[in-house]
Amino acid sequence: MPNVLINLYSDTVTKPTPGMREAIARAEVGDDMSGEDPTVNRLEALMAEKLGKEAAVFACSGTQSNQMGVKVHCIPGDELLIESSGHIACFEGGGPAVLSGTMCRQIPGTNGMLDIADLNGKIKADNQHLCITRLLCLENTTNVGGGRAWPLDQLERVCGWAHENGLKTHLDGARFFNACVAKGYSAADVGKHFDTVSICFSKGLGCPMGSILVGSKDDIRKARRARKLFGGALRQAGIVAAAAVYAMEHNVERLSVDHDNAKLLAAEIAQIEGLSINVADVETNLVFFEVDPKLGNAGQLSAALLDRGVKIGPSGPQRLRACTHLDVTREDMLKTADVLRQTIKAGFSQYKGSTTGPYARA
């Protein structure tokens, strides 16, 4: 395995800090499946309160809590609406179809976000030939959409439209607090527009695992059944919930450092010939950029960077994603830019890389 010196592959690569490990070691635990783990209970109460909701349920992963959300709202034969690049539709193994018998209707938007003009006319008529449009899923921040944080007025407008038209709303908040910090809105400002919100602790917040689903008491009761069914009801889960409580106390405000580092890296990339980026598009911790096809493809560049100790993944035939997080520094951004410069200067077309990108076989 190459020696990775700077890992910008994802914010999921963070390792628990000494303070977080101490919190984990000190955690009071009990049998969570019976509601008896005091640390999980504390975390669930904290998150419900932060989002202005009645209840919350701890989950193993973002995929699990999203799919619990879909299961709460949908039954077989239903359809959910989602932006084309939405994680729930694209990267959860077909979960809505497999676990809830629900189809995803993917709607092209802008930067992973939708507006009323995109959604108008997309709710199916009550007609025996058609499935039932039940749920709208949004993502904040967007991932493949470019790490963009939704403007609050747009969220309000789109969720208002959904509720007026009888849809439920679910938010995939894998990077929920990145959005809050970037836009300056509170968790409750966002939470009030959604029936359920999933938040990940294992990304920018630096935990080893864990997500949470928040919503009404009734929806969270249903979500607990789904979690059990999906094999995610745990026992002494306080061990990991303690990390999440710690992260809520120590790792939220500091996300602005990751955003500053991402902007610095974007500004450096903008000056490198052969790479292109719109610096103004970088709002949070995800930096997407393109490599000129005359030089090679994204997979080749990614492989060449890895050889020099920098891990940045391809996210399309010519597109790459660098992701900042609490285990990388401002200096790492400058070093990464240097390595990019050297790699492009040396040439990288000799490396193996797919011309169709990481998500297509042909």
Ligand X SMILES: Cc1ncc(COP(=O)(O)O)c(C=O)c1O
User: Site residues (CB under 6 A) for ligand X?
Assistant: 61-63, 66, 87, 139, 143, 172, 174, 200, 202, 211
In the structure encoding, which two tokens stand for residue 224, read together?
A: 């607990």
Closer CB to ligand X, residue 201 or residue 348?
Answer: 201
SS3 sequence of 280-309: HHCCCCEEEEEECCCCCCHHHHHHHHHHCC
Sorted by sequence, the CB contacts under 8 Å of residue 11 that are 6+ apart come out as 175, 203, 204, 258, 285, 323, 324, 325
Rounded to whole angstroms, the Cα distance separating 135 from 13 reads 32
CB of 350 to ligand X, least distance (A): 31
The closest of 99, 91, 105, 57 to 74, measured between CA atoms, is 99
CB of 200 to ligand X, least distance (A): 5
Rounded to whole angstroms, the Cα distance separating 212 from 43 reads 9
- Please return the burial class of 94, using the count of CB atoms within 10 Å of its CB with bins 0-12, 13-18 and 19+: exposed
Closer CB to ligand X, residue 201 or residue 246?
Answer: 201
Question: Contact, 160 vs 119, CB < 8 A?
Answer: no
> Residue with CB nearest ligand X?
62
CB of 273 to ligand X, least distance (A): 31
The closest of 187, 227, 181 to 204, measured between CA atoms, is 181
Closer CB to ligand X, residue 65 or residue 261?
Answer: 65
CB of 203 to ligand X, least distance (A): 7
Closer CB to ligand X, residue 177 or residue 348?
Answer: 177
Rounded to whole angstroms, the Cα distance separating 215 from 65 reads 12
Closer CB to ligand X, residue 65 or residue 133?
Answer: 65
Closer CB to ligand X, residue 11 or residue 268?
Answer: 11
In the structure encoding, which two tokens stand for residue 98, read together?
A: 């497999």
CB of 124 to ligand X, least distance (A): 26
Closer CB to ligand X, residue 39 or residue 66?
Answer: 66
Q: In which residue are the tokens 């009888």 written? A: 166
Question: Contact, 320 vs 358, CB < 8 A?
Answer: no
Question: Contact, 291 vs 274, CB < 8 A?
Answer: yes
Question: Contact, 190 vs 197, CB < 8 A?
Answer: yes
Closer CB to ligand X, residue 176 or residue 289?
Answer: 176
CB of 145 to ligand X, least distance (A): 9
User: H helices within 52-202, ranges in order?
Assistant: 62-73, 87-90, 95-100, 116-119, 152-164, 176-183, 187-191
CB of 136 to ligand X, least distance (A): 16
Closer CB to ligand X, residue 143 or residue 302?
Answer: 143
CB of 92 to ligand X, least distance (A): 7
CB of 359 to ligand X, least distance (A): 14
